[in-house]
A and B are shown apart, each in its own frame.
Chain A
């Protein structure tokens, strides 16, 4: 394992993407080189994963001073929390090049850039560096949505741009505030994330900065009520973009909360955690209920994804070890299940030229392999034990019950809500009688089948034998809590409604 592996994982795709943009490469070359680069990244990431020793601290650290007068540095590193988001990206993205063909060169170039930038955002250990990667990661999404999206792409692009820019500005202001506070308290300039936890932040300005960060990440996650860009964007975006947005980028929002908000604004976080937790569960229920009213399966999956993100975010707000670990595990589980479902939706759309649920039917009989894969991903998405979806969801609910009984019970309803819209959709698309649209539906080709197979196997392995994955996560989570004892101490949230059922802290 060489020294600058993280830099290579970040910049290899970005440089390749830029190169594709400036050279007159053909569409095929773009696709093949995209595939090769993403596979190379995958190999590097797997090697990184194997060598990751789960100390809890940052590993594979790279440190090069950048703007010394302001204490900004090119500082990378990875721990158990970020590792899995990085891995999700590296493992899932090669599939996009294998499965979808009829796209333009610029599309593949943008995909490569977004892959590198997401890796950068996850690995950055310096706030300014994080911000740079964050912005770089967002730009290709606008292009992919605006240039290659569906017929109603322009309003969708406008909306996502408006939202995201508002979020980014708030975050930038908050980052500057942190830097300035650090200078004021310690008399030196520094933007290292790890240093910010030492800050003593109180007062109204700190609360404003807290919400600055929080809103920026809430938009990306998206947390209720900042989700309204999502259905349009997910529906109108080309399949691969939706896939990137839902499977990985949304998770970077959650990651941001864990990395920036929880350690730095511990006091504010403890104070507003209950509010945020309600926002998470309400979002889960709201989007899950909206999902059942959808006629378009891609939009239904979009709402489903938003619903799941509510629960994933909730795990962070509960501030106990089980819930937070559950969140990180669920991030990967959701990336594999919902991500794959979006890809399957793309295949469905390609082959039937419709996205309307009621126009389909009987596909299970026509395409058993496709139906089987779809069913496994769907079951993981509804959290069936034995699939990856259960472990995380269970731990989040468990943690939520400890945090607050009402929140916990509401979070539990995701068990029911998810299964309702999924079965309803599965019935109309895969069961019943086939019709003109689905009559000649082709099953997955060998290449497609083999592309999805590893992820399908991963879904099951992660459900049956999660401990090897968890053992890489838990040291970092434990460290997170040991560094912030005040947070835990303050979160003995009393249950005003059900005092008898409040779980005592042991």
Chain B
């Protein structure tokens, strides 16, 4: 049991309090006192920044401890305790959660600062920041929760916030529908999480339900229950981290304001699934089948999303599918039990994806909410800072050495190869090439060539400093974050992997230099081929393509949304209306109706005797009395 420090609880509390405060001011005072945007903006940044400072403090405190005893915890109060079930509102900082904490609060803070500029002039400015703070607070609860149940609070909390923020422009029905979709799809995943927790609780027995106790007693699980728990929890992860079959909500989540997309895709929410699997590595590491399923689901998601990404025309959709695809890599990593590689990719991805989204936001802002890349072009000269930083992000995403994405992605592919998952490795390399292609397709179309919409181009200008400075900071991160985990082949010492080691149950494959070189060589070759094709097709500017045949099929995302609509949504509604219109009145309610009819029928039958003549009633009386006397005399004898 680790050392107890009180400030851990404050880390999520600051943004949560900020959210409540901003929300209350917005609802009760916003209209009357004309609160200025600046006030909201500064108030909104206080919480995240304070959390970041405390995250640094946590990091320093952990660093001071011996590697195997790097645990800080804080039990705020007993949350609920019934019989053998005892849940504390407790927080746990270990190397894993600390790493998450650092980049979540750092990137979260930057996104908040950026939003001050991006959201300027919106009538619901206060509401926006209230939700953003809530979002970050929920994510920090998720990261810091010391038991699956506390984690679940944040887990559902980010789901709620994504709903609120996706349907932020709520006057438009399609935005609200996207929000509903996000919440409901996430809820399907959450069902898996809840059931997984239930099996875990009963399977491990009543010896504490916090992560440290669970880890200590994970041997109690029978193989069948361990597999069930792993798969159910992974269902939760597919919902939150947008994997097959529950990835459909994430591309639609673009309906929200762009900083929200950055927050969802980079710092919060979608990384939760990977984090959770790594958190439970002490169970997953022992269930190979579950790991294989996760790895294959991950890499196939990566492939599918990359195919979709190649044929999108909305700049945010391209990025959205790239997120789904990169998340697929992360799951491939944790699936082959390379948990630190998966988490490292989460870490580097947070930088370059936040950068790309905020850069896209900067472009959208400059073009007055134009998102179609075929209406852009030649913006390089108009927006140099945005262009320059986005290229860095794009290189990192495509896995160009020595940008951060290269090292983390390579680590995953290398682990797959070294553990003998050749199929996964091959698909992974293919997807790497596709990633380079669609990323640079976007860059070339947006920034190179000639303007496609001259009017919009003429009015475009570089975004204000409050937006570009976060871009530059993130670009530095995207450029250098990879060096934190430099593998031995480049003379590094894998700092991140060593840092994470106490939190994770993983065995590092011992492979030859030869395999390492093959892995790196294949990745680099894929990158070069991808970018070459993109340059040939779009480098000099190209007209908007006509999507035909397979391209059309991919442009419509293989009609998966339509398929889900036809096989899930429609039948669901149909069952509802069958129950209401047919079953309820004709079947369930029929005994009651029959009873009342019977009652009426009997009443009508007896009406025959009620003739209304006294003489008839007198006869009834005489007959009745005679019968009674007869009966009495019989029984007396």
Chain A residues within an 8 Å CB radius of B194:
394, 397, 412, 415
8 nearest A-B pairs in the assembled complex, by CB-CB distance = A321-B83, A293-B576, A401-B198, A431-B170, A500-B224, A293-B580, A385-B153, A292-B576
Question: In the complex the two chains form, what is the Cα distance from A379 to B183 in whole Å?
Answer: 12
What would 12 more interface pairs be, CB under 8 Å, given A162-B595, A432-B172?
Answer: A159-B592, A166-B595, A290-B584, A365-B170, A372-B27, A394-B149, A398-B198, A408-B198, A427-B173, A467-B81, A477-B82, A478-B83
Chain B residues within an 8 Å CB radius of A465:
77, 79
Residue interface bits A289-328, CB-to-B below 8 A is 1, else 0: 1111110000000000000000000000000111001100
Q: Are A474 and B82 in contact (CB under 8 A)?
A: yes
Question: In the complex the two chains form, what is the Cα distance from A384 to B161 in whole Å?
Answer: 12
Residue from the list A158, A322, A372, A432 in contact with B83, Cβ < 8 A = A322
Q: Are A364 and B170 in contact (CB under 8 A)?
A: yes
Q: Are A431 and B82 in contact (CB under 8 A)?
A: no
If A467-B77, A470-B82 touch, whether A293 touches B581 (CB-CB below 8 Å) is yes
If A293-B576, A322-B85, A368-B27 touch, whether A503 touches B202 (CB-CB below 8 Å) is yes
Residue from the list B79, B180, B201, B205 in contact with A423, Cβ < 8 A = B180
Question: In the complex the two chains form, what is the Cα distance from A213 to B183 in whole Å?
Answer: 41
- Stretch from B184-192, B366-374, B419-427 forming part of the interface with A: B184-192
B558 interfacial by beta-carbon distance below 8 Å:
no
Number of interface residues of A (CB under 8 A): 69
A420 to chain B, nearest CB (A): 6
Q: Are A432 and B170 in contact (CB under 8 A)?
A: yes
Q: Are A321 and B82 in contact (CB under 8 A)?
A: yes
B window 57-108: CB within 8 A of A: 77-83, 85, 89
Question: In the complex the two chains form, what is the Cα distance from A102 to B349 in whole Å?
Answer: 60
Q: Are A413 and B191 in contact (CB under 8 A)?
A: yes
B225 interfacial by beta-carbon distance below 8 Å:
yes
B393 interfacial by beta-carbon distance below 8 Å:
no
Question: In the complex the two chains form, what is the Cα distance from A145 to B546 in whole Å?
Answer: 64
A window 384-431: CB within 8 A of B: 384-386, 390-391, 394-395, 397-398, 401-402, 408-409, 412-413, 415-416, 419-420, 423-424, 427, 430-431
Q: In chain B, what residue has the closest Cβ to A382?
A: B187
Q: In chain B, what residue has the closest Cβ to A398?
A: B198
B228 interfacial by beta-carbon distance below 8 Å:
yes
A466 interfacial by beta-carbon distance below 8 Å:
yes
User: Would you give 14 A-B contacts (Cβ < 8 Å), ordered by A?
Assistant: A229-B592, A292-B572, A397-B194, A412-B195, A423-B180, A423-B183, A431-B176, A432-B170, A432-B172, A467-B80, A471-B81, A500-B222, A506-B205, A506-B206
B459 interfacial by beta-carbon distance below 8 Å:
no
Question: In the complex the two chains form, what is the Cα distance from A385 to B141 in whole Å?
Answer: 12
Chain A residues within an 8 Å CB radius of B592:
159, 162-163, 228-229
Residue interface bits A444-480, CB-to-B below 8 A is 1, else 0: 0000000000000000000011110011001001100
Q: Are B82 and A395 in contact (CB under 8 A)?
A: yes
Q: Are A415 and B152 in contact (CB under 8 A)?
A: no
Instruction: Give the secondary structure class of B's interface.
Output: helix
A442 interfacial by beta-carbon distance below 8 Å:
no
Residue from the list B153, B163, B195, B224 in contact with A386, Cβ < 8 A = B153
Question: In the complex the two chains form, what is the Cα distance from A390 to B160 in whole Å?
Answer: 14
Q: In chain B, what residue has the closest Cβ to A295?
A: B580
Q: In chain B, what residue has the closest Cβ to A419?
A: B187
Q: Are A362 and B81 in contact (CB under 8 A)?
A: no
Q: In chain A, what residue has the closest Cβ to B596?
A: A162
Q: Are A158 and B596 in contact (CB under 8 A)?
A: yes
Chain B residues within an 8 Å CB radius of A325:
82-83
Q: In chain A, what residue has the closest Cβ to B186?
A: A419
If A362-B171, A385-B156, A431-B167 touch, whether A419 touches B183 (CB-CB below 8 Å) is yes
Q: Are B573 and A427 in contact (CB under 8 A)?
A: no
Chain B residues within an 8 Å CB radius of A322:
82-83, 85
Q: In chain B, what residue has the closest Cβ to A478?
A: B83
Chain B residues within an 8 Å CB radius of A391:
80
Residue interface bits B190-213, CB-to-A below 8 A is 1, else 0: 110011011101110110000000
B589 interfacial by beta-carbon distance below 8 Å:
yes
A286 interfacial by beta-carbon distance below 8 Å:
yes
Q: Are A427 and B577 in contact (CB under 8 A)?
A: no
Q: Are A289 and B27 in contact (CB under 8 A)?
A: no
Q: Are B184 and A423 in contact (CB under 8 A)?
A: yes
Chain A residues within an 8 Å CB radius of B171:
362, 365, 431-433
**Residues of A bordering B, CB below 8 Å:** 158-159, 162-163, 166, 224-225, 227-229, 231, 286, 289-294, 320-322, 325-326, 362, 364-365, 368-369, 372, 379, 384-386, 390-391, 394-395, 397-398, 401-402, 408-409, 412-413, 415-416, 419-420, 423-424, 427, 430-433, 464-467, 470-471, 474, 477-478, 500-501, 503, 506
A277 to chain B, nearest CB (A): 15
Chain A residues within an 8 Å CB radius of B195:
397, 401, 408-409, 412
Q: Are B85 and A398 in contact (CB under 8 A)?
A: yes
Chain A residues within an 8 Å CB radius of B180:
423-424, 427
A489 to chain B, nearest CB (A): 17
Question: In the complex the two chains form, what is the Cα distance from A506 to B81 in whole Å?
Answer: 18
Q: In chain A, what residue has the closest Cβ to B175?
A: A431
If A228-B588, A395-B82, A467-B78 touch, whether A291 touches B27 (CB-CB below 8 Å) is no
A169 to chain B, nearest CB (A): 13
Q: Are B577 and A293 in contact (CB under 8 A)?
A: yes
Question: In the complex the two chains form, what is the Cα distance from A486 to B61 in whole Å?
Answer: 53
B42 interfacial by beta-carbon distance below 8 Å:
no
Q: In chain A, what residue has the closest Cβ to B589?
A: A228
B630 interfacial by beta-carbon distance below 8 Å:
no
A290 to chain B, nearest CB (A): 4
Q: In chain B, what residue has the closest Cβ to A291?
A: B576
B575 interfacial by beta-carbon distance below 8 Å:
yes
Q: Are A386 and B157 in contact (CB under 8 A)?
A: yes
Chain B residues within an 8 Å CB radius of A290:
576, 579-580, 584
A319 to chain B, nearest CB (A): 13
Question: In the complex the two chains form, what is the Cα distance from A431 to B197 in whole Å?
Answer: 34
Chain B residues within an 8 Å CB radius of A433:
171
Q: In chain B, what residue has the closest Cβ to A416?
A: B187
Q: Are B199 and A401 in contact (CB under 8 A)?
A: yes
Chain A residues within an 8 Å CB radius of B163:
423
B177 interfacial by beta-carbon distance below 8 Å:
yes
B window 132-168: CB within 8 A of A: 149, 152-153, 155-157, 160, 163, 167
Q: In chain B, what residue has the closest Cβ to A286?
A: B579
Chain B residues within an 8 Å CB radius of A402:
198, 202
Question: In the complex the two chains form, what is the Cα distance from A391 to B152 in whole Å?
Answer: 12
If A225-B588, A501-B228 touch, whether A385 touches B157 (CB-CB below 8 Å) is yes
Question: In the complex the two chains form, what is the Cα distance from A433 to B28 in whole Å?
Answer: 22
Chain A residues within an 8 Å CB radius of B23:
372
Chain B residues within an 8 Å CB radius of A394:
149, 194
Question: In the complex the two chains form, what is the Cα distance from A311 to B596 in whole Å?
Answer: 30
B256 to chain A, nearest CB (A): 14
Residue from the list A162, A292, A503 in contact with B203, Cβ < 8 A = A503
Q: In chain A, what residue has the closest Cβ to B138?
A: A386
Residue interface bits B227-250, CB-to-A below 8 A is 1, else 0: 010000000000000000000000
Q: Are B80 and A466 in contact (CB under 8 A)?
A: yes
Q: In chain B, what residue has the closest Cβ to A324?
A: B82
Question: In the complex the two chains form, what is the Cα distance from A286 to B582 in whole Å?
Answer: 13
Q: Are B184 and A416 in contact (CB under 8 A)?
A: yes
A493 to chain B, nearest CB (A): 14
A132 to chain B, nearest CB (A): 26
If A321-B82, A500-B224 touch, whether A416 touches B188 (CB-CB below 8 Å) is yes
A213 to chain B, nearest CB (A): 19
Q: Are B576 and A412 in contact (CB under 8 A)?
A: no
Q: In chain B, what residue has the closest Cβ to A362?
A: B171
Residue from the list A224, A228, A289 in contact with B575, Cβ < 8 A = A289
Q: Are A228 and B584 in contact (CB under 8 A)?
A: yes
Interface centre among A163, A362, A467 (most CB of B within 10 A): A467
Question: In the complex the two chains form, what is the Cα distance from A228 to B206 in whole Å?
Answer: 41
Residue from the list B28, B156, B572 in contact with A289, Cβ < 8 A = B572
B191 to chain A, nearest CB (A): 5
Q: Are B191 and A412 in contact (CB under 8 A)?
A: yes
